Amino acid sequence: MDLFKHLGKKRNRHILVLSSASAHSGLQCLYTEVSGDGWQVLQHEVVPYPARTRALIDELARDPAASQSMRAVAQVENEFSLFALDSARSLLSHVPPSAARPDLVVFNRLVLWKGDLDSRIHRTWNFCIGEPQLLASFLNAPVLTDFVRHDILAGGAGAMPLLSGDLIIARKAGETAMLVNLGLIAHITIIDTSRSEIVVDSDTGPGTYLINRAAAEAGCGEGFDRDGAAGGAGTADTACLEQLASHEWFTGRAPKQAQIDTFAELLRHPSLATLTPHEVLATMTALTARTIFNFFKQEYRRPEMPHALWLSGGGTNNQALVSYLSSYFSPIAVRSVEELGIPPASRLPLSLALSANAYLDGKSIRRAGSKAKAVPAGKWILP
């Protein structure tokens, strides 16, 4: 198609990313100019969700089996779609007019549910909201979207196409780069940049999910422990921590994917019954760091140690969590991707932009022990 020929020939591409995050985060908006493996972030912002959208996300996070009327879901999707368009326009309004027309929009729609179904094929499935055609039509740019569903239909487990972008970012972080994203779920990617090879790429367990739930129970006003002060004020229960860390999901081999309801049962563990709310919060904070470290010990078997663990995501602001990670990983330094010139909340949107750009350039990446393959894209929506 002429559109893709035009995109393929462009040496510099302006890419707008709209990536849906957790209820306590919002829509991650990033606008970047990409040329080869180089990039410049022109503008970025995290925009809080509309009230009804956030309420629906919160309810489904507490109870993934909660029922909703189709009209209520349709109302939220309509509201969210217009919200995404308004957020895009607002972000672009802060960019010089000469650069404010995106060549490509990358839209990570809002996942309301993801899990397993009773099906002969493609047991893993997801349900998203957000209308990409609205963005394509009003921004007059092609939209790349539905990454999780695309990966499922291609035989995967529903992973986001981040690896090419992660590799480009990792080249700024040393020969063996370890990237950990602290969203609701914690995810680790270890890359051998000298060989352009993914060594490890997997969820490790809870990121901020259990911390958020415990923080709400401990009376944190915003419903989460913004800077980790509440978690740092309590004392983690060592015996309880050991029991929780032995949960069967944590001992399974990588690569693996987690759903937030995988860990909800841990909050009902009998060992927590005698703890105060702040002790539970401290224990959940320690558990998050502990399970990331345990995963690293179990899965990383090369003699060359990473020089640093590079953190991104909302959990980067939780100083109690960062302190636990620093203790567990010592002498490996724990650092923020902000030191690499990347906004901590925007590493995944940037990886999405760089991966989409690499796909347009026909570049490949490989996992350790496998052949290189083209980065999977998603569904294209045309203006």
The closest alpha carbon to 350, from 304, 296, 313, 380, belongs to: 313
Superfamily name with CATH number, domain 2-159+350-381: ATPase, nucleotide binding domain (3.30.420.40)
In terms of Cβ atoms closer than 10 Å to its own Cβ (0-12, 13-18, 19+), residue 51 is exposed
Q: Summarize pLDDT for 263-294 with one digit per residue, the tens.
A: 989 999 999 999 999 999 999 999 999 999 99
> How far is it, in rounded angstroms, from Cα 265 to Cα 267?
5
Selected from 3.30.420.40, 1.10.1060.10, 3.40.50.740, 3.20.20.370, the CATH number assigned to the domain covering 163-344 reads 3.30.420.40
pLDDT bucket at 262, cuts 50 / 70 / 90: confident
> How far is it, in rounded angstroms, from Cα 265 to Cα 241?
14
First-to-last C-alpha distance (Å) of the chain? 13
What pLDDT was estimated at residue 172?
A: 93
> How far is it, in rounded angstroms, from Cα 383 to Cα 370?
37
295 and 250 Cβ atoms separated by less than 8 Å: yes
Q: Summarize pLDDT for 215-235 with one digit per residue, the tens.
A: 988 888 777 787 888 888 889
DSSP for residue 310: E
Residue range(s) in the chain whose domain bears CATH number 3.30.420.40: 2-159+350-381, 163-344
pTM, two decimal places: 0.89
Phi and psi torsions of 202, nearest 5°: -165, 155
Question: Could you give the percent of the chain with pLDDT greater than 70?
Answer: 95
DSSP for residue 301: -
Q: What is the CA radius of gyration of the chain?
A: 20
What pLDDT was estimated at residue 376?
A: 46
